[in-house]
Chains A and B, each alone.
Chain A
C-alpha cells in the first residue's frame, strides 16, 4: 500500500508585548516563580480582564502579512477545563469569530518548488502557567505551580492540512517562524517557549479523498524534533494500519530522548470545553484606522522580497528563499549585492562561505564579524582580478578573525594575485624545464600530469598565481614541440 501523509500545524507564538494580554503584569522570561503573576493572572475573586491593545495590533500585523482578512468584529470565548496551571478554570481564547481569517504562506522546498500552504485562522489567547515536578516539593507527591506565564499573549496560528511530508511541515513552521520575527510580533525564541508547535498527523491510501484518523502531537519546541516526531508518527500509523489495527484520535507527546511519540493518557478523557462568549469582554470591534495604523510600518514581506530577489537579481528560487530567511540576512545580501554590483556572486558567498562560518560559530547574521560592506569590498577584489577565489577565501578567513578589511589583509599578507604574464611565464618555464620526465608523460597522453604542474606553480607562487593564466601558459608550454 502506498500511503500519503497529511499534516496540519497549530503554532502558538508569544506576542512581543511588555505586559500580559489581560493584565498589567510583566511578560519577561525567567522571573522568580509567581513573582509576575498578578491578581488577574491568579484568577482571584472579583478580578476582570482588560485587553492589551498591543496584542491586538500585533495580531493584525500577522493577518495582513499572510494576506488574510482581519475581522472587524471578533469575539473572546472561554474554554472551560480544570488544570492546575489554568487558574480561572477556563482559558480566554477566540473560538467562533477569530481576529484573523483565512490566509496563506508560500514555502520553498529544497528542489526549488514553491508551494502554498493555507492558514485557516489565527486567534488571540492567553497562555497557561507551568507545572513543575520535583520530588522534594512538600516532602514528595506534589507538583509546584508557577503562574508567571499565565496570561502571556499568544497568537495561535492554525494551518490547513496542506502538508504532505515532514519536510514540508518543517518548511512551513520555519516560514511562520521567519514571518513572526520578520514583522516584529514575536521573538520566536523556541528555548523559552515563545514558539511551540502542535502537529496533526494522519495517513491515507494514495488517491483517497477522506482524511485518516489523526493524532495530535503536542508542544514540539524545535524544527528538528518536529521532523522526527512526524516521521516517527507516520511510521507508527503505517505499522498499526498494515498490521490490521485501527487508529484512535488522540493526543500524543514527542519524547526527544527516546525519539518516539506516546499517548498522553491523562488527556485521553473526552474533552468538553463548553466554549461560550466571555461575558467579561465585549466583542472586539476594530475600525479601519486601527488596522491601517497597525500595518503602516510593515516591512516588505519575505515572499515579496524573495520574488523580487528572484527576478531583480536573477537568483534561483532556493537561493532567494535562503537569503530571505530573515530580514537581517536579506538586508545584508542587498547591501553586498548593491555595493559589489554582482548579486549572484554575493548570493554564492553569503549562502556559502559566510553561512558556513556563521553556522560553525553558531552566530546569527546580525552578529557576523564580517560586515556587509567589508564582504562587498572583498568581492570587488575578486571582480577586479586582485584575488582568485581561493585567495579570497583566505582573505575572508582573516577578515572573520578580525584582521581588518580586504585591502589591508591583501597588502599585509601579500595575497595579491600574480597576473603579470611575464613573471608567470618565467616561473612556469623554469618548472617545465625542471621536470622533463613529467613533460614526457604528459606529451605521451597522460593528461592527469597537467594537475601536477598546476600544483607546482601554485606552490611556487604561494597560491597567488592567477589560475586562468596559469592554465593557458602551461597548456602552451607543454604542447608537443613540432
Chain B
C-alpha cells in the first residue's frame, strides 16, 4: 500500500494536523511502510470470524441517574488557554 501526497494532505486535514509541504514526502514513506506491515493481515482468511472490539467479555454497567458533579468552572477554566465570561473562546465559528 503506498500513499501519495494528496492522501497525506487529506488525512492530515481529517486529523487536523498542520503539515509542512517539505515533510509530506517523509510522511508518505513512513505511513506506507506501516501499511505494508499491516498488510501482513491479508495472509489470514477471516471469513466467518466475529470482530472483537474489546477484550472484556462483559456487558456494559449502568449508573443510577444522580447528579453528583457540582460547578467547578473556576477550577476547570484555570487551565484553559482563553476564556471570557465563563465561555471558552475560539476564533469565530462560521455556520
Interface status of B42 (Cβ within 8 A of chain A): no
Contact B59 A285 (CB under 8 A): yes
Question: Across the interface, which residues of B come within 8 angstroms of A133, CB to CB?
Answer: 92-93
Interface status of A345 (Cβ within 8 A of chain B): no
**Chain B, 75-95, CB within 8 A of any chain A CB:** 76-77, 82, 84-95
**Chain A, 73-126, CB within 8 A of any chain B CB:** 75-76, 82, 84
Q: Which of B1-9, B31-39, B64-72 contacts A (4 or more CB under 8 A)?
A: B64-72
How many interface residues does chain A have, given as a range? Answer: 35 or more
Interface status of A23 (Cβ within 8 A of chain B): yes
Contact A281 B60 (CB under 8 A): yes
Contact A42 B68 (CB under 8 A): no
Question: Across the interface, which residues of B come within 8 angstroms of A147, CB to CB?
Answer: 88
Q: How far is the CA of A303 from the CA of B40 in the complex (A)?
A: 57
Given A24-B66, A133-B93, A266-B95, A50 and B88 contact (CB-CB distance below 8 Å): no
Query: How many whole Å from A85's CB to the nearest CB in chain B?
Result: 8
Contact A50 B67 (CB under 8 A): no
Contact A138 B89 (CB under 8 A): yes
Q: How far is the CA of A272 from the CA of B7 in the complex (A)?
A: 14
Question: Across the interface, which residues of A come within 8 angstroms of B67, CB to CB?
Answer: 18-19, 24-26
Q: Which of A29-37, A417-425, A453-461, A462-470 contacts B (4 or more CB under 8 A)?
A: A29-37
Q: How far is the CA of A51 from the CA of B95 in the complex (A)?
A: 31
Contact A23 B69 (CB under 8 A): yes
Partner of B88, one of A24, A34, A44, A276: A34
Query: How many whole Å from B68's CB to the nearest CB in chain A?
Result: 3
Interface status of A52 (Cβ within 8 A of chain B): yes
Q: How far is the CA of A154 from the CA of B54 in the complex (A)?
A: 25
Q: How far is the CA of A147 from the CA of B90 in the complex (A)?
A: 13
Interface status of B49 (Cβ within 8 A of chain A): no
Contact A84 B16 (CB under 8 A): no
Question: Across the interface, which residues of B come within 8 angstroms of A267, CB to CB?
Answer: 95
Given A19-B65, A131-B93, A138 and B84 contact (CB-CB distance below 8 Å): yes
Given A42-B76, A282-B59, A283-B59, A143 and B90 contact (CB-CB distance below 8 Å): yes
Q: How far is the CA of A100 from the CA of B37 in the complex (A)?
A: 40
Contact A51 B84 (CB under 8 A): no
Question: Across the interface, which residues of A come within 8 angstroms of B20, CB to CB?
Answer: none
Query: How many whole Å from B90's CB to the nearest CB in chain A?
Result: 5
Question: Across the interface, which residues of B come within 8 angstroms of A132, CB to CB?
Answer: 87
Interface status of A277 (Cβ within 8 A of chain B): yes
Query: How many whole Å from B2's CB to the nearest CB in chain A?
Result: 20
Interface status of B53 (Cβ within 8 A of chain A): yes
Q: How far is the CA of A146 from the CA of B83 in the complex (A)?
A: 11
Q: How far is the CA of A24 from the CA of B71 in the complex (A)?
A: 11
Chain B, Cβ-Cβ closest to A32: B86
With an 8 Å Cβ cutoff, the count of chain B residues facing the other chain is 35
Contact A285 B60 (CB under 8 A): yes
Contact A253 B62 (CB under 8 A): no
Contact A142 B90 (CB under 8 A): yes
Given A42-B76, A142-B90, A144-B89, A51 and B65 contact (CB-CB distance below 8 Å): no
Q: Mark B8-22, 1 if CB is under 8 A from A, else 0.
A: 000000101000000
Q: How far is the CA of A276 from the CA of B53 in the complex (A)?
A: 9
Question: Across the interface, which residues of A come within 8 angstroms of B44, CB to CB?
Answer: none
Chain B, Cβ-Cβ closest to A267: B95
Question: Across the interface, which residues of B come within 8 angstroms of A221, CB to CB?
Answer: none
Q: How far is the CA of A274 from the CA of B10 in the complex (A)?
A: 14
Given A24-B68, A53-B64, A282-B58, A145 and B90 contact (CB-CB distance below 8 Å): yes
Contact B53 A279 (CB under 8 A): yes
Interface status of A137 (Cβ within 8 A of chain B): yes
Interface status of A54 (Cβ within 8 A of chain B): yes
Chain B, Cβ-Cβ closest to A278: B53
Interface status of A240 (Cβ within 8 A of chain B): no
Contact B66 A143 (CB under 8 A): no
Interface status of A17 (Cβ within 8 A of chain B): yes
Question: Across the interface, which residues of B come within 8 angstroms of A25, CB to CB?
Answer: 67, 69
Contact A282 B60 (CB under 8 A): yes
Query: How many whole Å from A204's CB to the nearest CB in chain B?
Result: 29
Q: How far is the CA of A266 from the CA of B94 in the complex (A)?
A: 7
Contact A36 B71 (CB under 8 A): yes
Chain A, Cβ-Cβ closest to B63: A50
Shortest 7 CB-CB distances between A and B: which pairs?
A144-B87, A24-B68, A54-B65, A38-B69, A53-B62, A285-B59, A33-B86
Can you list 11 A-B contacts with CB-CB less than 8 angstroms, sorted by A residue number? A35-B86, A39-B76, A42-B76, A52-B65, A54-B64, A131-B93, A133-B92, A138-B82, A143-B91, A143-B93, A284-B59
Q: Which residues does B use to contact A, with CB under 8 Å?
A: 14, 16, 53-54, 56, 58-69, 71-73, 76-77, 82, 84-95
A55-B65, A84-B93, A138-B82 known, 5 other contacts, Cβ within 8 Å: A35-B71, A52-B63, A53-B63, A264-B95, A265-B94
